[in-house]
Chains A and B, each alone.
Chain A
């Protein structure tokens, strides 16, 4: 029964006891189990991306009124495998004058940065890679490594389009990190913890109810971090060939490709974890395996939204993108953070005088925060309205396009 309800812990205990029986010390067993866990999590991530690539291509096709992949296996599910084999057999081309070490290191860095994120995502109450108590900071640290991979790829290719792509990537990823950090601080403030699993534990009421603005800010800025449409400025085909990955071929390009798709799925998982209650759902605590199901249902719903946005939005211009970040997202995030901190503190000062029931407290708290969030949204919309273009500047007098020509004098007379 324990195996059915919580297989991962069961296997880990069994393996640990087996290794202890062979005469290994406790510390060595811990290290071996951690290594196996890391391998399994990484392999799981790669396995998942095989599926999500198919899913995204299928959705892409359907929304564009095409069939999408449909030849290999039922509904083309196995389409990714032939693609994989094809990409394995392609030639590796290293351009002349490329910096070999950095050129080969870049794809590895950008994939590993995404995979490292999975170490702290809780799939179920008991199925967590590592429950570090600074999980939220860890997520940011890992994101920085991904930026490093892109910069190295752009610089080491010895190609001006790659370099331009890398410059844009730096501008985009580093500046969108700011609203992301500020938005991440709101769940940390509400949950009073920085551990990711503890944040899920703290969500008796999902944090999206507490703070829809924070969820929006986090979702938008992490969309920008993935570098996909509408934020795919770093590989804009019409301007930069393929941006930082122009010179890559074969499996090295495949690494970037896999990294991008996995990143898109990872941000859905993070949004689900931080704002939609992660593994929380009916009976998840009694039956941890059910938590995995809830987690993936939420993640796939958000992933669908990510794909939908990617497909239906046109690409922004670079100045629009940076203005959007610095003039809209960042000030909003700052105001939200300050207001949330003050409101939460005041709520807990006023709370003893209210005589609420124990069960109702999180709901009342969520309601207060939601109200404040709605006020901020209304205020933001009013401020934005004052910046709308009310009438276009008139540069010339209106001139009719088709005017009946004056009849020649000979006709009149």
Chain B
């Protein structure tokens, strides 16, 4: 077993346990903390896949922005420290069914996919993959339109947030 495989297995187990704890933990803040651990695990998977940029972006956006926002919102809720109340309602079996179907479907697709069994080939251009990504995002033949659309969406969300929270001038 190579060290990479060992790291993969350990991180995989930790990520799965953390992901499970996000939904089973009774305290909102603890859930958020477990979520951060799970997201860290995903970041480490990106590193193992030689995608350092995505690993760092995962940490910046998901942990630095989204998870902190979760914790901040949970901090403002009342009685967050008390662990009372039922965790699931009467529809739990529908959720379980959908999750199971999704798992079966994903497994089915992955098994039929030829890349599942063949080992990955080494990626070309080890060094300037990052600048290739940057160029792909702004080249009209590749991802310029989705990139700009996402930017417009974010700007709209930002203006909306300012409008909703801003003071109304009489």
Contact = CB atoms under 8 A, between A and B. Distances in A.
Contact of B33 (A105, A141, A145, A174): A105
Nearest to B30: A101
Interface stretch (A24-32, A72-80, A299-307): A24-32
Interface in B1-54: 2-4, 27, 29-30, 33, 36, 52-53
Contacts of B130: 133-134, 194
Given A141-B63, A155-B75, A194-B130, A99 B29 contact: yes
A137 B130 CA distance: 12
A158 B81 contact: yes
Q: Contact residue range for chain B?
A: 20 to 34
A27 B57 contact: no
B64 A144 contact: yes
A145 B67 CA distance: 10
A170 B68 contact: yes
A174 B68 contact: yes
Interface string A117-159: 0000000000000001110011011111101100110011010
Nearest to B63: A144
A170 B69 CA distance: 10
Nearest to A29: B3
Secondary structure of the A contact surface, majority rule: helix
B71 A144 contact: no
B4 A144 contact: no
Most buried by A among B52, B53, B60, B130: B60
Q: How large is the interface on A (under 10, 10 to 19, 20 to 34, 35 or more residues)?
A: 20 to 34
A352 interface: no
Given A147-B64, A163-B75, A134 B56 contact: yes
B81 A137 contact: no
A151 B75 contact: yes
A145 B65 CA distance: 10
A363 B3 CA distance: 47
B72 interface: yes
Contacts of B137: none
B45 to A, nearest CB: 16
B63 A148 contact: yes
State the main secondary structure of chain B at its contact with A. helix
B64 A151 contact: no
Interface in B57-87: 57, 59-60, 63-65, 67-68, 71-72, 75, 81
Nearest to A32: B3
B62 to A, nearest CB: 10
Contacts of B59: 141-142, 144-145
B75 A141 contact: no
A166 interface: yes
A102 interface: yes
Interface string A171-185: 000100000000000
Contacts of A99: 27, 29-30, 81
Nearest to A28: B3
Contacts of B27: 99
A143 B63 CA distance: 11
A30 B3 CA distance: 9
Given A148-B71, A158-B81, A140 B53 contact: no
A167 to B, nearest CB: 8
A140 to B, nearest CB: 6
Contact of B56 (A97, A138, A155): A138
Interface of B: 2-4, 27, 29-30, 33, 36, 52-53, 56-57, 59-60, 63-65, 67-68, 71-72, 75, 81, 127, 130
Interface of A: 25, 27-28, 30-31, 97, 99, 101-102, 105, 132-134, 137-138, 140-145, 147-148, 151-152, 155-156, 158, 163, 166, 170, 174, 194
Given A27-B3, A132-B56, A170-B72, 8 more contacts: A97-B81, A105-B33, A132-B52, A134-B52, A134-B53, A137-B53, A151-B72, A174-B68
24 contacts: A27-B2, A27-B3, A99-B27, A101-B30, A132-B56, A133-B53, A133-B127, A133-B130, A134-B53, A137-B57, A140-B60, A142-B59, A143-B64, A144-B59, A144-B60, A144-B63, A144-B64, A145-B63, A148-B67, A148-B71, A151-B75, A152-B33, A155-B71, A170-B68
